[in-house]
Amino acid sequence: MVWTFFNIIRYTLGSMVLATTVFLNKRVRDRRLFERNWGPRHLPQEDYSIWFHVSSEGELEQVMPILNGLIEKQLLGEDKSLNEKILLLFTSPSLEKKMVEIQKEKNNVDCMAFPLLNLWPWGKNSIFSLKVPTTFFMVRYDFFPELLSIGHRINNFVLLSASLKNKDISFQRNKLKKIYYKLIISSFNKVFASGPMDYERILKLFDGSMPGELYAHDFRHGQIIKRQKLQTHLEKTHCLKTFTEQASPYSLNDRMIFGSLWSSELSLFNDEFLEDLVQKKTFVLIAPHKLSGDEWDNIEEVVSSWSELGIDVAYWNQFGLRGEGNVILCQVPGLLCELYPYFGHSFIGGGHGRSVHSLLEPFWGGSHIYCGPKVQRSTEFDYVDDHSPRHLHIVRELPALYSYYLKGKKIALDKGAREKSAVEVMTNQSKYIELFSHKEMGL
């Protein structure tokens, strides 16, 4: 089997290189310590019938609706065949805090860091020390050979948010890359494409005949819709009332949020925009992509200097919302998704750098969306462009944002269409979660 061959290379040549690197690189040593603390050895048991694997917070958002749906069926006793314990594998240490919260809130979920730097394929620190699950969910990226070889041995191996965007273009000139992705996707029994366009790309890769079942659904949609409805994180800050009071003098069309903003994008605020803020025509909230370090310091320094121009700036951090103004600089993590519904206009950062950040959150928040031109990697851009092109604006030159904003204010938002799409998304999501809990899945 091809993944067994990759594992042989991984645990021979790969382990030789890794053994040397451990002595030379502190980051590798820190990662090894992290894996010892969160790896297979710390688990209370070896037998989990359901596995999930995620790498980033965005991928965690993908699996949470499924995980919660399966747990709900356990608690309601609708499916007695569901195992009592679920294993949630994660790769990035940035998810450590989230995993602690999940284990506290969900008694039947154990979390484990994937042992990326393990030197041996055996022993209690190895992923192979665990019993093979009945059902295994993976999300889009990080196709480690260990995980693929485990998934290939079971009948219910599910890939979520599958995408070939920008990859299919290169298949014409790179046949090996095409073979590689065919091997990966064909390892799964059920594949959920991130949207209709990726559904077609995957079908084309297999010349119209998939070896497994193919669907077009992104589970992150439902997670965003639910979060924006419940507003749990906003409520926990105890600042929601203060925030809404400061925003209330402005209509939705006179409010703009800057989500996942980078300091290199601050030239968005040209002289005209700054004068607008001086005259209090627009209410603005800035949520930087980085909430600490040099990135945060640079943004805070620039925004603070606006006070000298006569712009009133308020600051929202873990101590509360301090000050009153038509500009709020927010340093509280986890609020951005729930803040979007309060704004009629959203600029999303990253599109003038490597790649634009999440566009689904402002889309379901119901706003006009503005972003830079780097959208080649974003399947979310495809979805928004397909469902709401009139409200999607690509800002190629940063200082031009203000003129785009003024034009956008003249285009009415069609909230009814998005609400109709939300109903359809949630209906499909319930249907698929029901599929996952069915006896034929072996759960």
Q: Could you write out the three-class secondary structure of 342-383?
A: HCCEEEECCCCCCCCCCCHHHHHHCCEEEECCCCCCCHHHHH
- pLDDT tens for 51-102 read 999 998 889 988 999 999 888 876 655 555 454 689 999 999 999 999 999 9
d(CA 106, CA 112): 14
Q: For 180-208, what is the mean pLDDT? A: 92
Q: For 211-240, what is the mean pLDDT? A: 93
Whole-number pLDDT of residue 73: 75
- pLDDT tens for 312-325 read 999 999 999 999 99
**Distances 290 to 161, 294, 297, 322, 324 between C-alpha atoms, Å:** 25, 9, 9, 20, 23
Whole-number pLDDT of residue 20: 85
**Contact call for residues 115 and 30 (beta carbons, < 8 A):** no
d(CA 197, CA 184): 19
d(CA 32, CA 22): 8
Whole-number pLDDT of residue 240: 96
Whole-number pLDDT of residue 319: 93
**Distances 260 to 91, 115, 239 between C-alpha atoms, Å:** 22, 30, 21
Whole-number pLDDT of residue 58: 83
**Distances 194 to 140, 221, 333, 379 between C-alpha atoms, Å:** 9, 10, 26, 7
Residue scoring higher pLDDT (384 or 418): 384
pTM of the model: 0.87
Q: For 178-188, what is the mean pLDDT? A: 93
- pLDDT tens for 365-383 read 999 999 999 998 898 999 9
Is residue 261 scored above 90 in pLDDT? yes
**Core vs surface per residue 62-87: b (16+ CB within 10 A) or e:** bbbbbbebbbebbeeeeeeebbebbb
Whole-number pLDDT of residue 282: 98
- Give the model's confidence band at 251: pLDDT under 50 very low, under 70 low, under 90 confident, else very high: very high
What is the residue whose two structure tokens read 């009814």?
416
Whole-number pLDDT of residue 84: 66
d(CA 34, CA 42): 11
Q: Exposure of 238 by Cβ count < 10 A (0-12 exposed, 13-18 middle, 19+ buried)?
A: exposed
What is the residue whose two structure tokens read 């980033």?
56
- pLDDT tens for 130-149 read 999 999 999 988 899 999 99
What domains, with CATH codes, occur in the chain? 2-223+426-441 (3.40.50.11720), 231-416 (3.40.50.2000)
Percent of the chain beyond pLDDT 70? 96
- pLDDT tens for 3-22 read 888 888 889 988 888 888 87
- Give the model's confidence band at 414: pLDDT under 50 very low, under 70 low, under 90 confident, else very high: confident
Helices (H) and strands (E) counted in the chain, each on its own, are 18, 15
What is the residue whose two structure tokens read 């409520």?
235
Is residue 270 scored above 80 in pLDDT? yes
Percent of the chain beyond pLDDT 90? 68
